[in-house]
Amino acid sequence: MLKYILGFVIAIALLLPVLQSNFEIFEIEPLEGITIAEKPKFNKESYWNLSWQEKYTSYLNDNFGLRAWLIRFYNQGQFELFSTTKAPGVVIGKQGELFIESYIDDHIGRNFIGQSKINAQVQKIKTLQDSLKARGKDLIVVFAPGKASFYPELIPDRFMNKKKDSTNYRSYATTFVQNGVNFIDLNKWFFENKNKFKHKVYPKYGTHWNHYGMCLGLDTILKYIEKKRNINIPDLDYSIVNYNTALKGNDFDIGVLTNLLMPIEKDANPYPVYKYKTIAGNVKPDVLVVGDSYWWCPVGDNLPGHFFKEDEYWFYNKTQLINNEKRQETKDINLSAALAKRDVVLLIATEATFYMFPYGFTDNAYKLYCQDNSKRLNEIINDIKKNSTWLASIAKKAEENNASLDTQLKLDAEYILSSEIISPKETVEQIADRIRNDENWMKEIKKKAENNNISLDQQVKEDAQWTFDNTK
């Protein structure tokens, strides 16, 4: 009887995933932060080169019945018995504090990019800062606090035993000060005042500052801008604070990644009641924020629009968000036009992304404002002058903007130059190389060469030239 019962249990265990895959008997919550392979479309080419089989194997592995439940069951055992987790990048610290490993990496210097690279980047930032200042604009670098720097005593010893003297944060912070960069070091300020804050500034199971910590940081940034530009921005009042265990997304953004069978009991976090004080003479500067995920918290609570003329945020300098809505990729934005109207540019980063800072923004802006582009600008201006229709449109624009023709010509030339810097046009030779490396394209070229009775190489060159001439 025992054998029959055991056999029945094994049979059910083997059949359940199959039944779940086909009939979805149980409603199972999907895993958080896990990318699931999609079912590949069948075609002959992918079948014969075996790529379809590989993708289908990944699809089956990721989508068999009960997979999410089994992973949560396994994770629960690891969490309860060994105080560890298999969640990618998640580290369980002392007293159960959760960290993301990339924050620890910077704190212990494991991802240090080297002083020479930091020196070169800071020199560019300083030169760009001076160039923008000459145009009436302020470039400000903000280093947001990092959880690893704030709670070094809670980081597991296996990481702290490997701590190095040189880190991206220390090197950047020191070099900024030495070179006179406009720099707000919230990382240092948070750590130094950690025992003076009225409320906690980090959630136990989150990697970003909580909403109270964000208010402290935002208030500091606003006061710095006020002093730098000699203006009076509307005030943020966050003196009333309520605690709640119904955590907003950022306050549990590591906790969800653990994917446990029994959810972690959430810790109560402080949530300020936002109030805005506006008086006569208040000014809302036009601010562009370029940075990592630490700016998501104020954007998610729709705070920037109360203090800045517009809430525009370039996430990692890749995606443009306005009023928390994705608009377009920043590579499609003309940098000259985007910066022309700004009063302030904020570059924001935290320790998890210092090795990527400043996300390519400085390189592009430096090319536009700090390199000698006079030759190319003159070429563009001469091209405009040679085209009577184009010149007439520039003259009309100059009249509308109450500017001289020369001023408007330069502005439009800078606009075109900016497009070339951000999205440089391929050369004929580069297009020809791309054609030669494209199997399907080369098949068309061969047919065309035969029809035109010319060599294959000549046809490649002609098609490359045509593509170059007709690419806008």
- Summarised one tens digit per residue, pLDDT across range 165-204 is 999 999 999 999 999 999 999 999 999 999 999 999 999 9
CA distance 296 to 294: 5
Structural domain ending residue among the three candidates 332, 349, 368 = 368
- pLDDT at site 422: 64
Same domain, 438 and 402: no
Considering only 30-39, 152-161, 218-227, 314-323, which range has the smallest mean pLDDT? 30-39
Is a pLDDT exceeding 90 seen at residue 86?
A: no
CA distance 402 to 166: 53
How would you class 46 by CB atoms within 10 Å of its CB: exposed for 0-12, middle for 13-18, buried for 19 or more?
middle
The reply to whether 303 falls in a domain is: yes
The reply to whether 90 falls in a domain is: no
What are 91's strand-pairing partners? 99
Same domain, 119 and 25: no
The reply to whether 145 falls in a domain is: yes
Provide the residue range defining the domain that includes 14.
2-64
The reply to whether 75 falls in a domain is: no
Same domain, 237 and 346: yes
Confidence band for 90, pLDDT divided at 50, 70 and 90:
very high
Same domain, 25 and 131: no
Same domain, 415 and 449: no
Same domain, 197 and 274: yes
How would you class 211 by CB atoms within 10 Å of its CB: exposed for 0-12, middle for 13-18, buried for 19 or more?
buried
pLDDT in tens, 330-372: 988 888 888 988 999 999 999 999 999 999 999 989 988 888 8
Look up the pTM and report it.
0.78
Same domain, 435 and 359: no
Same domain, 158 and 264: yes
The reply to whether 74 falls in a domain is: no
- pLDDT at site 471: 62
Same domain, 402 and 435: no
Is a pLDDT exceeding 90 seen at residue 303?
A: yes
Q: Number of structural domains, the chain?
A: 4
Structural domain ending residue among the three candidates 404, 422, 440 = 422
For residue 358, is the peptide bond before it cis, meaning its omega torsion is within 30 degrees of 0?
Answer: yes
**Rounded to the nearest 10 degrees, what angle do helices 361-369 and 405-422 cross at?**
140
The reply to whether 246 falls in a domain is: yes
Considering only 408-412, 424-428, 445-449, which range has the smallest mean pLDDT? 424-428
Same domain, 355 and 305: yes
CB-CB contact of 207 with 103 (8 Å): yes
Same domain, 174 and 38: no
Same domain, 321 and 434: no
- pLDDT at site 164: 93
The reply to whether 76 falls in a domain is: no
DSSP 370-402: TS--HHHHHHHHHHHHH-HHHHHHHHHHHHHTT
The reply to whether 335 falls in a domain is: yes
Q: What is the mean pLDDT of the chain?
A: 90
DSSP 263: P
Per cent of the chain over pLDDT 70 is: 98
